[in-house]
Structure 1
Amino acid sequence: MIATDLRSGVEQLGEIIASASTIIPFTGAGISTECGIPDFRSPGGVWTRNRPIPYDEFVASRQARDEAWRRRFAMQTTFAQARPGRGHRALASLYRAGKIPAVITQNIDNLHQMSGFASDHVVELHGNTTYARCIGCGKSYELEWVKQRFDEDGGAPDCADCDEPVKTATISFGQAMPEDAMQRASGLAQHCDLFIAIGSSLVVWPAAGFPLMARNCGARLVIINREPTDQDDVADLVIRHDIGETLGPFVGN
């Protein structure tokens, strides 16, 4: 069912939330755009201006690694200044109320953690851009460490322990999805009675399979996204309005 207007959509969503015992949100870029985080994938997004650097290219080419880090540092102010929006805060309110055990996210901005979710309860399918990790031994690094060495050496640093490249702790094109996160997301999708997809175009697989997985396991499915998705026809409720305005009424004190 597609909500005819924002007010009726919010009312229906409220009724569905009230009747649910275990809610799993699945969030995409749309929930963070009001926070100043750009949408990478949509028309006019970052990837339409800068071709994404695939993982194998990052590994093979120092020039590619230098460019990847140059782009990340150019975005540092945007990520550092971003604060959770109404959508994040609404989900955090439901989390504190015991309705949401965890959130599954395609986002890399750390805003769910900032909104009040414990880090262990944020399942990051595409990683996190607020720190770095060695692709060899997995050692974590603060971005300040990377920036200092980038400036001193004039290029991307290697790991201090194993000399392998260091990259943001995100999942690049061609890089394997994190197995633990995928398994956790699968378990959450299969054991909820309400799955809410928020701000995701639902075109990136295998992540886009989680709403269908939840639906097939008996959960109600709500999709909140400005644009239509391929899964609208199987959803119990579709709200095609601004995410902040839609979820704002659910922000608790």
Structure 2
Amino acid sequence: MIQDAQVIAGFTGAGISTESGIPDFRSPGSPWMRHKPISFELFMRSAEARREAWRRKFAMDDLYRGAGPSLGHLGFASLVATGRMPAVITQNIDGLHQASGLGEDQVIELHGNGTYARCLSCGCRHELDWVRQCLDADGEPPNCRICGGILKSATISFGQTMPEGPMRQAQRLTASCDLFLVAGSSLVVYPAAAFPAFAKESGARLVIVNREPTPLDEAADLVIHAEIGSVFSEFVS
């Protein structure tokens, strides 16, 4: 089925990165439950919440520091290299698709990216090492070096508006593909999970690779319940 497709839309969730050692939100005993993300509204309202958000952010980063791309990531990179997969739509924030060799224009990040920070006022990018150094030195997260605005991990927090640019990119790719390939997503987090259904309604074939069943399994043309790496290793070149 993949060999016959002309335009493939890739779509990935947490399951592709758990094989790299990065925990997901829903597994029993997940460290995310000990370091729950703070809502955007509270982050903006409270300086104390911002300090705590950064503490939790760096605690989680330390848990999977050094994680590299899995066989799943490398398989998707190989599919992009064929020219038939223009980009990968991802719910993940770990930057591992870029680490697998994909360019920024080949990764559509619906939930942002946790490997750097952005100013919420001017959008200027700041590196996390600098943010952490300032936090360790002063006990306070720094403000933007350009405009003095609030810095936040460049992820989309609960209650924060979804990014318009990536959402439009994902919609265009979904509408133009003849195969929508899901890997490692439970397909329960919306609005991201609406894209596979939209692809199917638009006439594309839908393939889902995930360890556990998803709500869209019955609508899919092919469902594979297996480890992501074992399925995508055949595409790694």
Q: SS in structure 2 opposite 1:19?
A: coil
Take 2:150 and 2:35, find their aligned partners in 1: how far apart are those partners? 22
TM-superposed deviation, 1:79: 4.5
Q: SS in structure 2 opposite 1:81?
A: coil
Aligned to 1:132: 117
Aligned to 2:188: 203
Aligned to 1:33: 18
Take 1:31 and 1:132, find their aligned partners in 2: how far apart are those partners? 23
2:145 to 160, 178, 187: 160
Given that 2:113 and 2:154 are in contact with CA atoms closer than 8 Å, whether structure 1 keeps it comes out as: yes
- Aligned-pair Cα RMSD in Å: 1.3
Aligned to 2:52: 67
Q: Does 1:229 align with 2:214?
A: yes
Aligned to 2:104: 119
Take 1:225 and 1:240, find their aligned partners in 2: how far apart are those partners? 5
Q: Which runs of 5+ in 1 are unaligned?
A: 1-15
Given that 1:62 and 1:156 are in contact with CA atoms closer than 8 Å, whether structure 2 keeps it comes out as: no
TM-superposed deviation, 1:75: 2.8
Aligned to 1:182: 167
Take 1:149 and 1:20, find their aligned partners in 2: how far apart are those partners? 49
TM-superposed deviation, 1:21: 1.0
TM-superposed deviation, 1:74: 1.8
Of stretches 42-51 and 142-151 in structure 1, the one that deviates more from structure 2 is 42-51
1:246 to 202, 224, 231: 231
Q: Which runs of 5+ in 2 are unaligned?
A: none
Of stretches 242-251 and 124-133 in structure 1, the one that deviates more from structure 2 is 242-251
Q: SS in structure 1 opposite 2:154?
A: strand
Take 1:96 and 1:245, find their aligned partners in 2: how far apart are those partners? 20
Aligned to 2:76: 91
The TM-score normalised by the length of structure 2 is 0.96
Take 1:41 and 1:182, find their aligned partners in 2: how far apart are those partners? 24
Take 1:43 and 1:216, find their aligned partners in 2: how far apart are those partners? 34
Cα distance change, pair 91–77 in 1 and its aligned pair in 2 (3 A): same
Aligned to 2:90: 105
Deviation per residue, 1:107-156 (Å, 9 max, x gap): 01111111111111100000001100011111110111101111121122
TM-superposed deviation, 1:50: 3.0
Aligned to 1:215: 200
Q: SS in structure 2 opposite 1:90?
A: helix
Given that 1:101 and 1:121 are in contact with CA atoms closer than 8 Å, whether structure 2 keeps it comes out as: yes
TM-superposed deviation, 1:227: 1.0
Which structure 1 residue ranges, 4+ long, deviate > 2 Å from structure 2? 40-52, 75-80, 160-164
Of stretches 158-167 and 99-108 in structure 1, the one that deviates more from structure 2 is 158-167
Given that 2:35 and 2:56 are in contact with CA atoms closer than 8 Å, whether structure 1 keeps it comes out as: no
Residue identity matched to 1:56: E
Aligned to 1:143: 128
Cα distance change, pair 79–140 in 1 and its aligned pair in 2 (3 A): farther
Given that 1:79 and 1:109 are in contact with CA atoms closer than 8 Å, whether structure 2 keeps it comes out as: no
The TM-score normalised by the length of structure 1 is 0.90
Higher helix share: 1
Residue identity matched to 2:45: A
Deviation per residue, 1:28-70 (Å, 9 max, x gap): 0000011111112343323333332100111111111111111
Given that 1:30 and 1:198 are in contact with CA atoms closer than 8 Å, whether structure 2 keeps it comes out as: yes
TM-superposed deviation, 1:78: 4.2
Take 2:160 and 2:184, find their aligned partners in 1: how far apart are those partners? 23
